[in-house]
């Protein structure tokens, strides 16, 4: 029967929940009903007519009024629907997919009885929904309009919630909807979910997942006395006493408590006998493992039923297992040069040190070791747990017995650049007579004394020495475990320089050349077998040679070898010029030498500034003297080159200035031919390299105007241009 209380509750819910979801704002209990439709790799089984009024389909696309249980919407309605998996994102998780329609039973697509409820208890009824329609398909006229309903077993409605229109979204969005209500005395209800929107084809389609029915109550707040959070890490058998505290908001007239624990990460919960107050004292650390604790809460005697309880958030406790005892040599030897501390004792893991085998005082790990003392270590884990047993280690401190030498090594600077590649390991026998010692090389003394990895020379056989770091520090560890540091001081001596080029020219006219390796060296050796400062090479013996010289420095000497080639050379013969002219300032001359030119040459236009390139660019019109000099000293040759240009205008008025039009330097090419035309193409005059035009035609003065010309050169190339006759 519907009571006055029920009618009032129903009225208020309908009025206040149209625009938004009325989910529980307090604490929830474990689900009384939890429907997620299971999981699988194929289509799920039908729900049955008792649960839904829609028709089950096991394959193909869904038609109006049909549903299926699937792990994906792919292939169920072409591109009209979003492709989605279930609410949790599990690729195998099932969900209920509905092609909505108005049916005789109000469009009910899910109905289920829930039993074992408690009177005077509030419950939350919720589910996850998605409008599966894809707006890109152009169907945005109808939207699901879902109603959640709770009824008693006689069909009387006890509470209801309406979602309103569930709008389409660009990618498909899951939203949790639901409401909460309070029972008087009913212990069984029927939950119903139906779509009241009009049918559409296509349109108004929906997916459903994770239906839950949970008790709802006041808000429970967790804390641990004197702790900042609700997570603890303790050691097995550690003596502790943590107070788990709870506070609850208003809502229950007779709140009752029951503390619980779980040792399977919340899959199941066990009541803790006798723990029924707001606080719980955690003291049991006897068994290692991960544990969850919480307090469950109900109003009055409802505490005796798990379907009536709400629960707090979880307290997490990790009870860390006791570590095993440390392993290590019971007697260990150290050297005074190590300045050894407890940190230097070698054991199998992190240790905490004591001055006694049992009880005693903790000793800081920076404590210096004392010869003959015994130290006791327990293994310590990262969370501070330590082993029950302690290892006893007696230490012996010895002084170094190995004699070392600091040495100075003089080496030759191959390229005279104050940088040299040196194998510093080659001097170990000079540092010590120890053959089984460990040698490590460092760039700083502190690095060598403390074995600092960043200062160690990675490749000591190819150490790059430079004047800024002249000393290499060698850490030598001997069999007595003592480490000492020796120094290798490196000094560079300049290597002789042979002032010979890669090529030495022998002028054809001279027939021989004297080659001088330079004065002042202690030894000379030529590829010819000669040991003098100079040798003579004739034109009959041109080719590749080498010379090696050395300077003695007492216990060592530095030497240099120079490879060179003697080549024939001569004065250049200029064959021709490749000239690019006819511009105001962007002309060029390229020197072409004959095949008889054997030398290595350089080029100049002023016999002062020479260049290796035979090409001169960015030149003005005019006459140029071109010089070609043999780099081997065989001589200089020269010739004239001309860059032609034509005047842009002339003024034939008999004033002695620009009275005739003639191409500049055309007289250097007497066979050059020039034809002049008027602006209409009429031929007026033909010139050669030595003639000019006075601005007349058949004895008549030509008017001021632009005139055109064509120049044809000996090589057949031609140039078209125009100039102005001014009066």
Q: Which pLDDT tens digit goes with each residue over 490-543?
A: 999 999 999 998 989 899 888 899 999 999 999 999 999 999 999 999 988 999
- Examine the pLDDT at 383 and tell me if it is beyond 90: no
Q: What is the mean pLDDT of residues 290-315?
A: 94
Residue 24 confidence (pLDDT): 84
- So what's the pLDDT on residue 104? 56
Q: By the 8 A CB rule, do 337 and 483 touch? A: yes
- Mean residue pLDDT of the chain comes to 90
Return the pLDDT at 202.
Answer: 61
Question: Cβ contacts of residue 42 below 8 Å, gap of 6+?
Answer: none
The answer to whether residue 8 scores a pLDDT higher than 50 is no
Q: What percent of the chain has pLDDT over 90?
A: 68
Buried b (16+ CB within 10 A) or exposed e, 673-685: ebebebeeeeebb
Tens-digit pLDDT profile for residues 610-623: 999 999 999 999 99
Q: What is the mean pLDDT of residues 534-558?
A: 93
**pLDDT at residue 62, rounded to an integer:** 92
Mean pLDDT of 541-566: 94
pLDDT at 571: 92
Give residues with Cβ within 8 angstroms of 229, minimum separation 6. Answer: none
Q: Is the pLDDT of residue 139 over 80?
A: no
Instruction: Tell me the longest C-alpha to C-alpha distance in the chain.
Output: 142
Residue 78: per-residue pLDDT: 86
- What's the distance, CA 352 to chain centroid? 40
| Rounded Cα–Cα distance for residues 460 and 428 (Å) | 12
**pLDDT of 128 above 50:** yes
- HEC sequence for 651-710: CCCCCCCCCCECCECHHHCCCCEEEEECCCCCEEEEECCCCCECCEECCEECCCEEEEEE
Nearest Cα neighbor of 392 from 335, 334, 364, 351 is 351
Note the pLDDT tens digit of each residue in 646-703: 999 999 998 889 999 999 888 888 889 999 999 889 999 999 989 999 999 998 999 9
Residue 2 has pLDDT above 70, yes or no: no
Confidence (pLDDT) at 13: 29
List the one residue out of 684, 678, 645 whose CA is nearest residue 662.
645
d(CA 66, CA 189): 26
Mean pLDDT value across residues 8-16:
28
Q: How far is Cα 22 from Cα 319, in angstroms, rounded to an integer?
A: 40
DSSP string, 51-78: T-SSEE--SS---TTEEEEES--TTSSG
Question: CA 24 to CA 177: how far, in whole Å?
Answer: 11
Query: Which structure tokens are listed for 518?
Result: 């330079």
Smallest CA-to-CA distance from 94 within 134, 60, 128 is with: 128
pLDDT of residue 606: 95
- pLDDT exceeds 70 at position 12: no
Alpha-carbon gap, residue 537 to 517, rounded angstroms = 13
* pLDDT, tens digit, 9 for 90 and up, residues 159-192: 899 998 899 898 889 999 999 888 888 889 999 9
Read off the pLDDT of residues 232-277 as tens digits, 9 standing for 90 and up.
Answer: 999 998 899 999 999 999 989 999 999 999 999 999 999 999 999 9
pTM: 0.51
Q: Mean per-residue pLDDT for 65-88?
A: 92
């Amino acid at each position: 029967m519907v009571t006055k209380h029920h009618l009032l509750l129903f009225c208020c819910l309908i009025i206040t929940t149209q625009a938004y979801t009325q989910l529980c704002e307090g604490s929830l209990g474990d689900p009384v009903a939890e429907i997620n439709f299971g999981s699988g790799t194929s289509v799920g089984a039908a729900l049955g007519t008792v649960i839904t009024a829609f028709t089950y389909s096991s394959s193909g696309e869904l038609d109006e009024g049909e549903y299926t249980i699937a792990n994906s919407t792919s292939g169920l309605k072409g591109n009209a629907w979003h492709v989605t998996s279930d609410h949790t994102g599990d690729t195998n998780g099932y969900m209920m997919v509905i092609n909505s329609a108005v049916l005789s039973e109000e469009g009910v697509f899910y109905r289920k009885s829930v039993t074992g409820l408690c009177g005077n208890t509030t419950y939350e009824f919720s589910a996850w929904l998605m409008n599966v329609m894809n707006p890109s398909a152009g169907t945005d006229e109808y939207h699901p309009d879902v109603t959640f309903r709770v009824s008693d077993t006689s069909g009387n409605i006890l509470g209801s919630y309406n979602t309103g229109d569930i709008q389409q979204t660009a990618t498909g969005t899951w939203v949790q909807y639901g409401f909460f209500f309070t029972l008087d005395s009913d212990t069984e209800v029927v939950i119903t979910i139906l779509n009241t929107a009009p049918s559409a084809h296509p349109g108004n389609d929906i997916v459903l997942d994770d239906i839950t029915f949970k008790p709802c109550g006041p808000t429970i707040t967790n804390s641990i006395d004197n702790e900042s959070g609700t997570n603890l890490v303790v050691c097995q058998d550690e003596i502790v006493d943590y107070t788990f505290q709870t506070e609850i908001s208003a809502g229950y007239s007779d709140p009752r408590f029951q503390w619980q624990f779980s040792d399977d990460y919340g899959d199941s919960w066990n009541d803790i006998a006798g723990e029924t107050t707001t606080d719980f004292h955690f003291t049991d650390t006897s068994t290692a493992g991960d544990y969850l604790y919480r307090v469950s809460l109900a109003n009055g005697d409802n505490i005796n039923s798990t379907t009536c309880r709400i629960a707090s958030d979880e307290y997490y406790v990790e009870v860390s297992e006791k570590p095993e005892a440390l392993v290590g040599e019971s007697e260990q030897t150290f050297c005074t040069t190590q300045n050894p501390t407890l940190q230097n004792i070698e054991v199998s893991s992190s240790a905490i040190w004591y001055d006694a085998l049992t009880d005693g005082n903790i000793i800081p790990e920076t404590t210096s070791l004392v010869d003959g003392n015994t130290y006791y270590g327990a293994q310590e884990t990262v969370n501070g747990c330590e082993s029950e047993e302690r290892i006893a280690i007696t230490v012996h401190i010895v002084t170094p017995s190995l004699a070392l030498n600091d040495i100075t090594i003089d080496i030759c600077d191959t390229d005279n650049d104050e940088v040299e590649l040196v194998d510093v390991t080659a001097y170990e026998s000079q540092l010590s007579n120890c053959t089984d010692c460990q040698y490590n090389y460092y760039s700083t003394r502190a690095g060598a004394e403390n074995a600092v990895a960043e200062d160690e020379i990675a490749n000591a056989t190819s150490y790059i020495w430079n004047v800024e770091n002249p000393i290499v520090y060698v850490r030598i560890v001997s069999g007595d475990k003592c480490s000492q540091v020796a120094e290798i001081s490196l000094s560079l001596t300049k290597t002789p320089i042979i002032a010979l080029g890669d090529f030495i020219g022998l002028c054809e006219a001279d027939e021989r050349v004297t080659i001088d390796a330079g004065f002042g060296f202690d030894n000379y050796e030529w590829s010819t077998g000669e040991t003098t400062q100079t040798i003579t090479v004739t034109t009959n013996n041109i080719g590749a040679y080498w010379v090696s010289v050395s300077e003695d420095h007492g216990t060592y000497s530095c030497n240099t070898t120079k490879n060179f080639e003697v080549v024939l050379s001569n004065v250049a013969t200029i064959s021709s010029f490749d000239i690019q002219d006819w511009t105001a300032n962007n002309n060029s001359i390229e020197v072409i030498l004959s095949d008889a030119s054997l030398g290595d040459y350089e080029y100049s236009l002023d016999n002062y500034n020479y260049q290796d390139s035979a090409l001169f660019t960015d030149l003005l019109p005019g006459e140029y003297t071109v010089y070609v000099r043999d780099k081997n000293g065989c001589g200089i040759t020269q010739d004239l080159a001309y860059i032609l240009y034509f005047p842009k205008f002339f003024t034939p008025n008999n004033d002695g200035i620009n009275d005739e039009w003639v191409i500049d330097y055309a007289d250097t090419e007497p066979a050059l031919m020039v034809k002049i035309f008027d602006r209409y193409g009429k031929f007026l005059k033909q010139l050669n390299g030595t003639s000019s035009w006075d601005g007349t035609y058949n004895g008549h003065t030509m008017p001021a105007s632009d005139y055109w010309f064509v120049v044809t050169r000996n090589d057949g190339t031609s140039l078209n241009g125009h100039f102005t006759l001014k009066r």
